[in-house]
Structure 1
Amino acid sequence: MKSPQRQRGVALLIALLAVALAVILIASLLDRGELAFARARNALRGEQAIAYAEGLEAYASLVLQRDRDENPNLDSFSDVWAIPTPPQQVPGGSISARMSDLNGCFNLNNLVGRQAPVWRKRLRNLLTALELDPSLAGAINDWLDSDANIDAEGGAEDSAYLAQPIPYRAGNRVFAHISELRLVRGIDSAVYARLAPEVCALPTGTTINLNTASTAVLMSLDSRMTAVLAERIRQDRQARWTDVGTALNEAAQQGVEITPADRVGLGVASSYFLARGEITLDGVPFAFSSLLERVGGTVRGGVHVLQRSRGGEDLPAGVLAQAIDAGR
């Protein structure tokens, strides 16, 4: 027969075990409750962020349409669309927005079509201005064209890509996003980091807005165009040229005469913009961007959304390149 003292010891152990199990159960329930609460909160904040992003997109469309009504044939950095929206307090956090003119960049998809020879020459000039190998233009051209002929200057077709450790084929179509450049032979993360800020992927046939083009893009217009001369045209981002001839007159006075044949695809107005919304709710950042096309006329006039994206797609080129490298 067990002694009363030993029985009390066993009862104490059972009581401690029961308490321990109860604590574990309660902690598990609390943890599940907190997890469920966090999921519900994140879902709510996510839906709230999307609603704010749609509101910012509608506001951006209104601003672009109003700007077109006031200045139908002219866009510059002094326009209202170029003024960032400072952070605004909203329930649960803050929102801010900004827009950039995509007609100020070099549209890679213009390398196909009737005016392709002019744009291919500009691409070589752009690569030179960025101190990159001009022969990369051949690989980019081959990535876009649908034939199997290898460009004489650094071109690459399926045979070059199928020989990679992870084989794939050339795109043979226009770019959907500039990150596709990382698939082109010769474009590593360092090259991409320098090239990506100057280029974009838009529908074929866009123009370069001389009022909003970067120094490198202006240098692509002619091999003789220097950085100093390009900056004179930009006027420290204050350029507001009313026509192409007036804008290029500064270059002509310095002996860089751009012929009418080489002026194709140039303008002083814009149709494509990237609207970017930065939203922070409960300390969680949300990033949204919309590619907007502003169209004049009475039939299809207005602002149309061509593409929406969410996340860090608009990261600095160097960061994005490293991310792509890590995933390959």
Structure 2
Amino acid sequence: MSRQQGVALISVLLVMSLALLLTGAMLRNHRLVVKSTAQQLHQVQLRQLGFAGERWALHLLRSPEMQASRSVNLAQAWARATPPFEVDGGTLDIRVEDLAARFNLSALLTGGQVDALTQQRWVRLLALLPIHSADLENLSASHPGGLTDLSQLRAVPGVDAEVLRRLRPMVALLPKDASLNINTASLPQLMTLDGMTDAMARALVQQRPHTGYRSVQAFVEDPLLAGLELGSHGLGLSSRWFRITVDVAFGQSRVQLVSDVALDAKTRQVSVLQRRFLSSPTSEAL
């Protein structure tokens, strides 16, 4: 009888131990599920804040000012720096950039003969960065079919991560007929123009009319460029392509939303062409 009681007691203890093990495993799994769900909700919240910042920037680009203007310039609301917004315990830092202020790589990838002025400006830009690559200088030959993303330049001999890092803020892939917007172009972009010196480019940036030039002709005839005989080929006053960058900070988490958008040439409505979320905010989307 005593032996039977001992066996029964051991059986009870084994059952209790097994039950405790199962309960512990269930609790651990529950904690993991709760943690995973919380992380997912946190990521959703970060993304929603990013979308909120994008909507704010799109509102600026849809403003009556942009609808009525034939020019895109740095006096417009989209170009004015704004302090970070505090929203729902997080912060949003929103920037809008005119992509027509960059060198348009598509102009080199025509599938045919590249005009001499565009090729010369490209070579000057590479020298300014500085990037020394014969294959990049003759990009039309290495990529006759064109590019869909800047990362494809890594296939060009000599183009490593560092070269791509220097190039990214300077170039864009726009329609082939897109012009360089002289009202928003930066110092390096202006220095790619034929005969332009560093002093001339700096003076142009500093003394550029507040609301931009009235015409390309007014730009090439600017007294600062006297004697330069600068041509108007490939230059413009407007743009339909912009990049919206939203940096979201929420607690210890950071995320960056980069959206490329375009204005419809007829309706002037704005549509999103591409969105990219980056977990580690950078100065340029990869």
Q: Give the shorter-chain TM-score range.
A: 0.7 to 0.9
Q: Per-residue deviation at 1:99?
A: 0.9
Report the residue type matching 2:242 in the other structure.
F
- Does 2:114 match 1:116? yes
Query: Quick one: which of 183, 198, 202 aligns to 1:227?
Result: 198
Q: Secondary structure at the match of 2:130?
A: coil
Q: Deviations over 1:195-218 (max 9, x none)?
A: 222111222221111122122211
Q: Deviations over 1:199-245 (max 9, x none)?
A: 112222211111221222111121x2122211111117876432222
Q: Per-residue deviation at 1:312?
A: 5.4
Q: Deviations over 1:53-100 (max 9, x none)?
A: 333333222211213135x12222232102344333333533332111
Q: Deviations over 1:177-202 (max 9, x none)?
A: 22222221222233223222211122
Q: Per-residue deviation at 1:293?
A: 0.7
Query: Quick one: which of 245, 252, 259 aligns to 2:225?
Result: 252
Q: Deviations over 1:147-168 (max 9, x none)?
A: xxxxxxxxxxxxxxxxxxxxxx
What is the RMSD of the two structures over their aligned residues, measured on CA atoms? 3.4
- Does 2:240 match 1:266? no
Q: Which residue of the partner structure matches residue 183 of structure 2?
A: 211
Please give the alpha-carbon distance, in whole angstroms, between the structure 2 residues aligned to 1:98 and 1:112. 29
Q: Contact 1:139–1:184 (CA<8 Å) still a contact in 2?
A: no
Q: Deviations over 1:79-135 (max 9, x none)?
A: 210234433333353333211111111111111348831322211121122233263
- Does 2:265 match 1:293? no
Query: Quick one: which of 31, 36, 50 aligns to 2:33?
Result: 36
Please give the alpha-carbon distance, in whole angstroms, between the structure 2 residues aligned to 1:115 and 1:238. 35
Report the residue type matching 1:230 in the other structure.
A
Q: Which residue of the partner structure matches residue 125 of structure 1?
A: 124
Q: Secondary structure at the match of 1:225?
A: coil
Please give the alpha-carbon distance, in whole angstroms, between the structure 1 residues aligned to 2:125 and 2:108. 13
Query: Quick one: which of 38, 50, 54 aligns to 1:57?
Result: 54
The number of residues matched between the two structures is 279
Q: Per-residue deviation at 1:22?
A: 6.9
Q: Per-residue deviation at 1:257?
A: 1.6
Q: Per-residue deviation at 1:309?
A: 1.3
Query: Quick one: which of 269, 273, 279 aligns to 1:302?
Result: 269
- Does 2:76 match 1:75? no
Please give the alpha-carbon distance, in whole angstroms, between the structure 2 residues aligned to 1:238 and 1:26. 73
Q: Secondary structure at the match of 1:131?
A: coil
- CA change 1:45–1:94 in 2 (3 A) is same
Q: Contact 2:243–2:261 (CA<8 Å) still a contact in 1?
A: yes
Q: Per-residue deviation at 1:137?
A: 3.7
Q: Per-residue deviation at 1:303?
A: 0.8
Please give the alpha-carbon distance, in whole angstroms, between the structure 2 residues aligned to 1:122 and 1:316. 24
Q: Deviations over 1:272-307 (max 9, x none)?
A: 11011222345322221111112343xx43111111
Q: Secondary structure at the match of 1:275?
A: strand
Please give the alpha-carbon distance, in whole angstroms, between the structure 2 residues aligned to 1:134 and 1:284. 39
Q: Which residue of the partner structure matches residue 326 of structure 1?
A: none
What 5-or-longer segments of structure 1 have no aligned partner? 146-171, 321-328
TM-score, L = length of structure 1? 0.72
What 5-or-longer segments of structure 2 have no aligned partner? none
Q: Secondary structure at the match of 1:203?
A: coil
Please give the alpha-carbon distance, in whole angstroms, between the structure 1 residues aligned to 2:189 and 2:241. 16
Q: Which residue of the partner structure matches residue 140 of structure 1?
A: 139
Percent identity reads: 27
TM-score, L = length of structure 2? 0.81
Q: Which residue of the partner structure matches residue 151 of structure 2?
A: 179
